[in-house]
Structure 1
Amino acid sequence: MIEFQGVSKHFAGKAAVSELTLRIAKGELTVLIGTSGCGKSTTLKMINRLVEHDTGAIRFGGEEIRRFDPQALRRRMGYVIQSTGLFPHWTVEKNIATVPTLLGWSRARIAERVSELLALLNMEEAFRHRYPHQLSGGQQQRVGVARALAADPEVLLMDEPFGALDPVTRAALQQELARIHQLSGKTIVLVTHDIDEALALADRLVLMDGGRIVQQGTPTELLTQPASDFVRRFFGQSEWGIRLLSQRLAGEAARRGEWLEEEGIAASLTLREALSVFIARGTDRLAVRDSGQQPLGVLHFADLLRQKGD
């Protein structure tokens, strides 16, 4: 859906992005990650022409993006930033309706779409009449996501969307984003500096440094097959094992045919989360239940030691 071919961008004579070649598939959640100044936000902003590339080609649906009118292009791409950018004197409903209103949607269609998005983001109908200052930070960010999704864009671009939130709210919104991606199948490009967030959300992870791609692949591939010492250091050699556990689910590792008569854990928990439960309960075995709360198997603490990403 989105393709960079030999793309470069300079600011004041200094390269922010150099000879970048990248393909983002339709329906994929791609995460751009790297240290500050690595070029990840510039790369994201070049997709919707908030920043114009100097050389190379960027294609959207096979067409060079410079063939599109910038405003028309942006209306096909939802955009979410860290500060939400909500209009303070507009209600939640009016903020969400920004792009549909520009596109000439009817009031009835807009009202219906706002209701759909509030439900999708687990917000009550009463929120539609509130103003941004009446919302918590997490609620404001939900409205920002709803506004980006309002006109059903083909692509959702997200620049450090959860960076200013507390850890609990941030974790909840990460789960919401994963659920929305699964339900909608939209192409999402997310910029973050949070390694655990990237590992938890990405279908494809793109690690950048100095305006270039250092390595790309699935999170498990980058953890188990680092292309350089930089990649190893970036993901933290001392935390490598813990982060690898975040890539597997309890339901995948549970031993079938075994069961324990005790409170079970959800099959959707990561092995990293299961490790916390092992320690909290002081046990070496955990019953695992499927999404219907039916017995699935038993996870042994020893099984965590055998996870190598294969």
Structure 2
Amino acid sequence: MIEISEVSKSFNGWQAVSELSLTIKEGELTVLIGSSGAGKSTMLKLLNRLLEPDSGSIRLHGQNILEYSPQQLRRRIGYAIQSVGLFPHWTVEQNIGAVPVLLKWPKARIVERVSELLELLQLAPEKFRHRYPHQLSGGQQQRVGVARALAADPDLLLMDEPFGALDPVTRASLQQELANIQALSGKTIVLVTHDIEEALALGQRIVLMDQGRIVQQGAPRDFLLAPANDLVREFVGQSDAGIRLLGLDKIADRVRRQPAIPGEPIRSSDTLRQALSVFITRRVQSLPVVDERGQPAGVLHFADLLEPPR
């Protein structure tokens, strides 16, 4: 899908990205993570030609991105950023439909696409399509920004700290919606964050950068179980590694198919980390579990948290 080969970019003698090579698979959600100045956002801007590399090459579906005009490329790539950047005097519908209008989609198709995306992002179309950005909360504006990035059904979605300015509850909700969108659509997504919790929650693959170079890349479990060096250990918080490992697995992966027991049930779609919190607050050894339809799914025992992943 994306082949980055020995790409470098500097600004006034400062090396933002240094001989970086990376392959991003189609349909994968890749998270670029690192501290401020690591080169994450620069790399993202190089992917859609907001910046041009000093050296090296970037290929999209086997074609060098320099062979596209910047306009052609950006119409194939969705881009969502923390500041959202909605046009203040345009309605939600006009903001989401901006790129499809440029692509000369039929009006009926644009209206249909706007409705589809608003529903996907938990915004009732009849309620929100004619509102203006100042009439929306921060979380609603961010949802509209994501919808706009997805509007033309791009090959690739780039997201630069998209949820960084949101409160924890709204942020968690949007993270879950993004995970759902990726699972349903199979979109290739590259997301930049400095938050290890967000990276572990969303990333199918994590790429940790430092001083413009890749320090380690791999699945979330690799970072927690086999950090490459002290920098990675410090970044993932080795003292919290066990708790974070529980956040990678679902209750459904460990639940025992047993008759229901008394008590308020937990959901099979929740993580083992969430289950641990319930075990501790209720001071119990077993919890009833229900599936997404609210039907009994079995029982989770405290000892099940220690079992290896299936």
Letter in 2 for 1:229: D
Aligned to 1:89: 89
Residue 110 of structure 1: how far off its partner (Å): 1.1
Aligned to 1:142: 143
Identity of matched residues, %: 66
Aligned to 2:103: 103
CA RMSD of aligned residues (A): 1.3
Secondary structure of the corresponding residue to residue 141 of structure 2: helix
Query: For residues 240 and 124 of structure 1, what CA distance do their matches in structure 2 show?
Result: 39
CA contact (8 A) 2:224 2:238 kept: no
Query: For residues 60 and 117 of structure 2, what CA distance do their matches in structure 1 show?
Result: 26
Query: For residues 38 and 90 of structure 2, what CA distance do their matches in structure 1 show?
Result: 36
Aligned to 2:221: 220
Query: For residues 51 and 276 of structure 2, what CA distance do their matches in structure 1 show?
Result: 43
Letter in 1 for 2:304: D
Residue 258 of structure 1: how far off its partner (Å): 5.4
- Per-residue CA distance 1:39-61 (angstroms, 9 max, x = gap): 01111111101111111111000
Matches within 5 A, 1:1-310: 1-125=1-125, 126-257=127-258, 259-307=260-308
- Per-residue CA distance 1:84-143 (angstroms, 9 max, x = gap): 000001110100111011111122111111111111111012201100000000000000
Residue 306 of structure 1: how far off its partner (Å): 4.2
CA contact (8 A) 2:27 2:187 kept: yes
Letter in 1 for 2:221: T
Letter in 2 for 1:54: D
In structure 2, list runs of 5 or more residues that go unmatched.
Answer: none
TM score, norm. by length of structure 2: 0.96
Residue 236 of structure 1: how far off its partner (Å): 0.7
Residue 279 of structure 1: how far off its partner (Å): 2.0
TM score, norm. by length of structure 1: 0.96
Q: Which runs of 4+ in 1 moved over 4 A?
A: none
Letter in 2 for 1:244: L
Query: For residues 294 and 261 of structure 1, what CA distance do their matches in structure 2 show?
Result: 14
Query: For residues 102 and 280 of structure 1, what CA distance do their matches in structure 2 show?
Result: 54
In structure 1, list runs of 5 or more residues that go unmatched.
Answer: none
CA contact (8 A) 2:6 2:19 kept: yes
Query: For residues 213 and 94 of structure 1, what CA distance do their matches in structure 2 show?
Result: 39
Query: For residues 32 and 127 of structure 1, what CA distance do their matches in structure 2 show?
Result: 32
